[in-house]
């Protein structure tokens, strides 16, 4: 009963919150003075559009993650893509690949901020080339993750047989009749073990490399901004520091609520650690959470946006008080 409620309503709740917050975020960005954000507005717009797409896919393809013994697997619960078919398996893999795509978007934001402090032409008159390259990088991340999950990550018959009894007890259906991504680190053949380690190591390396890239770019941007304080105006430098701080917060949220739980789930079966079912609920909530938490964090981190939100609230409160006074 809890499974039915969780996988049916939680993704829909997160999707509704995402569709509430992201349009407000876009409005605030594009109604602000163009000098404050420049072409960065369009990169933030792409980020908001990605959040909306991610939220919709989270509803259509509700993931379930579970571990048993030396096996970790992902499958689809409910929805139009829960039946076994090649197309539906691609949808499951594509849902997982969106997590990798979020790393690509964050990396592209860091690169843009670095190019701004470098005064590169890619941020103004050649911005269309930057967006073209960005689209290519995003697709590359998505396709790479998709290939890893589809080939070495696909659960074979041996993996399905290993979890068959536990799967039947939890889900009430046969593991042979579900689309599934899975790893089996022990208790299987050498081929199955090799495929499992290959898939796990590749997705880990891709994620860790992305995080190290964020750190390197942040360090470079900080160094350039400190040098800018000599020649640039205090207002310009302050805005750039605020944008960098917002980007760091934007980065930390997916790392803690997306990558960290995934890392724990990937590697706990290596040590035969059985994660409680409640942890799976927490992890799946985290994976759907950042699509509306991230824009809220950016708004709160940028004073020029935060002041507008709070001023709007105070203005509405003043109007309400004024109306009450007239009535009295």
Q: Does any domain span residue 312?
A: no
Residue-wise pLDDT for 9-45, tens only, equals 888 999 999 999 999 999 999 998 887 888 999 999 9
Q: Does any domain span residue 308?
A: no
The parent domain of residue 173 ranges over: 1-302
Q: Does any domain span residue 271?
A: yes
pTM of the predicted model as reported, rounded to 2 decimal places: 0.90
Distance CA 49, CA 30 (A): 14
Q: Does any domain span residue 19?
A: yes
Q: Residue 92 sits in a domain of what CATH number?
A: 1.20.1070.10
Residue-wise DSSP of 186-217: SSS-HHHHHHHHHHHHHHHHHHHHHHHHHHHH
Residue-wise pLDDT for 68-121, tens only, equals 999 999 999 888 999 999 999 999 999 999 988 989 999 999 999 999 999 899
- Cβ–Cβ under 8 Å, residues 183 and 158: no
Q: Does any domain span residue 315?
A: no
* Number of domains present in the structure of the chain: 1
Three-state DSSP at 81 gives: coil
Distance CA 40, CA 44 (A): 6
HSE toward the beta carbon, residue 260, CA cutoff 13 A: 10
- Cβ–Cβ under 8 Å, residues 286 and 14: no
Residue 274: pLDDT band with limits 50, 70, 90: confident
Largest CA distance in the chain: 82
Q: Does any domain span residue 319?
A: no
Residues 34-63, mean pLDDT to the nearest whole number: 92
Q: Does any domain span residue 307?
A: no
- Cβ–Cβ under 8 Å, residues 154 and 178: no
Q: Does any domain span residue 53?
A: yes
Residues 213-234, mean pLDDT to the nearest whole number: 86
E strands present in 149-294: 180-184
């Amino acid at each position: 009963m809890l499974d039915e409620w969780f996988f049916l309503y939680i993704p829909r709740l997160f999707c509704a919150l995402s569709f509430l917050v992201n349009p407000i975020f876009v409005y605030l960005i594009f109604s602000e003075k163009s000098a404050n954000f420049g072409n960065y507005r369009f990169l933030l717009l792409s980020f908001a559009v990605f959040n909306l797409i991610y939220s919709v896919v989270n509803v259509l393809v509700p993931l379930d993650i579970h571990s048993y013994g030396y096996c970790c697997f992902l499958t689809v619960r409910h929805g139009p893509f829960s039946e076994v078919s090649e197309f539906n398996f691609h949808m499951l893999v594509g849902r997982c690949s969106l997590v990798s795509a979020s790393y690509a978007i964050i990396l592209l934001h860091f690169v843009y901020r670095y190019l701004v402090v470098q005064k590169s032409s890619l941020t103004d008159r050649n911005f269309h080339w930057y967006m073209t390259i960005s689209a290519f990088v995003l697709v590359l991340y998505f396709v790479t993750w998709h290939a890893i999950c589809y080939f070495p990550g696909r659960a074979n018959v041996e993996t399905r047989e290993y979890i068959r009894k536990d799967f039947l007890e939890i889900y009430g259906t046969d593991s042979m009749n579900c689309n599934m991504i899975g790893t089996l680190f022990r208790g299987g053949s050498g081929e199955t073990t090799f495929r499992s380690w290959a898939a796990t190591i590749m997705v880990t390396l891709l994620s860790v490399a992305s995080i190290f890239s964020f750190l390197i770019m942040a360090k470079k941007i900080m160094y350039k901004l400190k040098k800018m304080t000599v020649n640039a105006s205090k207002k310009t430098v302050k805005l750039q520091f605020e944008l960098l701080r917002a980007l760091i917060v934007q980065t930390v949220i997916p790392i803690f609520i997306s990558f960290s739980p995934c890392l724990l789930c990937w590697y706990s079966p290596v040590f035969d650690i059985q994660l409680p079912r409640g942890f799976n609920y927490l992890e799946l909530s985290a994976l759907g959470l950042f699509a509306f938490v991230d824009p809220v964090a950016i708004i709160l981190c940028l004073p020029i946006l935060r002041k507008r939100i709070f001023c709007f609230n105070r203005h509405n409160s003043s109007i309400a008080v004024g109306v009450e006074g007239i009535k009295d």
